[in-house]
Amino acid sequence: MDLFDVYPLYDITPVKGEGAYVFDKDGNKYLDLYGGHAVISIGHSHPAYVNALTHQLREIGFYSNSVKNPLQNELAAKLEKVSGINDYSLFLCNSGAEANENALKLASFHTGKDRVVYFEKAFHGRTSGVVAVTDNEAIKSPFNIGHNATKVGFGDAEALEAELEHGDVAGVIFEVVQGVGGLDEATTEFYLKVAELCKSHNAVLIADEVQAGYGRTGDFFAFQKHGIRPDIISIAKGMGNGFPVGGILIDKTIEPKYGMLGTTFGGNHLACAAGIAVLEIIEKEKLIENSKSLFEYVKEKADKIPQIKNLKGRGLMIGLEFDFEVAELRKELLFRHQIFTGAASNKKLLRILPPLNIKKEQFDTFFKALKIALQNY
């Protein structure tokens, strides 16, 4: 049976990972500054993570939500401690799109309304509900035409207010730092206004922290920098360091009704063990602090490279903007210098999303290679 083509595939077959490196089947070593779509938060095959998952699998790997699972409580408690936020309840699922699907569904249940507002260049997933609030023509499908979703400009509070005044908006979904869209972030004033507008119009404020969350921006959640309190926060990606786990944090004012949300795999024992291990490592290795301070190091290096026109993002969610499209540059970095980087819908942006425990020397390797690759530009 053939495989359905999913992404443009590089002819590389990783068979092993270690920290910020992956090794292919021929023994070639690659520096991974992308983490397979921003997923690898604590490094590949971190020993404490491997031990935690191996131990859990020996005990019990899976049972569904029809029974009690204290690991879910442990994960929720740890998440509250490491993130510093409280008075939320946790619903566990398996991916970012699924987290956002549940967030939208809950917003609709809670308000009794059926329209959702999203922002220009947003990426919230590919399943048929959330693709309606994703601003990416390449992945929309005719099936989504009927969805009741309205796009407004990112940072345009007036346009948002005009939509909310219709009175039918159940929720507003946003990424504080846009990932796939190209590392844009609006002002604190804007986020405060969005929060205020949602409150006054009885719309649920949904922060999609699937990519920016879990310490990647130098705060545990990207929204924390702006002093807002979302009603729902969606998480996934770095949460499991590659083990599929996602979830939503739900403000306690949104009351669950039995049967509203559910999933077969969500919150299983192995997923919880992965989630707990990641948080323990983030805490123990002070990875949020590392993420924050390394941005300054990257900035220092980037400022010395004239071809870099703009440094975007914060923490270890970084975009290097050039005045040319970067597809060829990325290929050169990958095939000549063995460094994985990421793309964005802004084709002039090179995205850097390394593990949060990456070292300065590994950035030195990257910038040395980048300078060589840029000699042709």
Ligand X SMILES: Cc1ncc(COP(=O)(O)O)c(C=O)c1O
Task: Provide the binding-site residues for ligand X, judged by CB under 6 A.
Answer: 37, 95-97, 100, 123-125, 175, 179-180, 208, 210-211, 236
Number of residue whose CB is nearest ligand X = 96
103 or 302, CB closer to ligand X?
Answer: 103
69 or 211, CB closer to ligand X?
Answer: 211
Phi, psi at residue 160, to the nearest 5°? -65, -45
User: What's the Cα-to-Cα distance from 135 to each of 26, 154, 160, 230, 345, rounded to whole Å?
Assistant: 39, 11, 16, 21, 10
21 or 118, CB closer to ligand X?
Answer: 118
| Nearest distance from C-beta of residue 237 to ligand X, angstroms | 6
Residue 302: both structure tokens together: 């980037």
201 or 214, CB closer to ligand X?
Answer: 214
| Nearest distance from C-beta of residue 367 to ligand X, angstroms | 26
| Nearest distance from C-beta of residue 126 to ligand X, angstroms | 6
| Nearest distance from C-beta of residue 137 to ligand X, angstroms | 16
| Nearest distance from C-beta of residue 210 to ligand X, angstroms | 4
Q: How far apart are CA 225 and CA 355, in angstroms?
A: 21
| Nearest distance from C-beta of residue 213 to ligand X, angstroms | 9
Q: How far apart are CA 326 and CA 342, in angstroms?
A: 10
| Nearest distance from C-beta of residue 127 to ligand X, angstroms | 7
Q: How far apart are CA 188 and CA 264, in angstroms?
A: 38
185 or 208, CB closer to ligand X?
Answer: 208
100 or 362, CB closer to ligand X?
Answer: 100
213 or 218, CB closer to ligand X?
Answer: 213
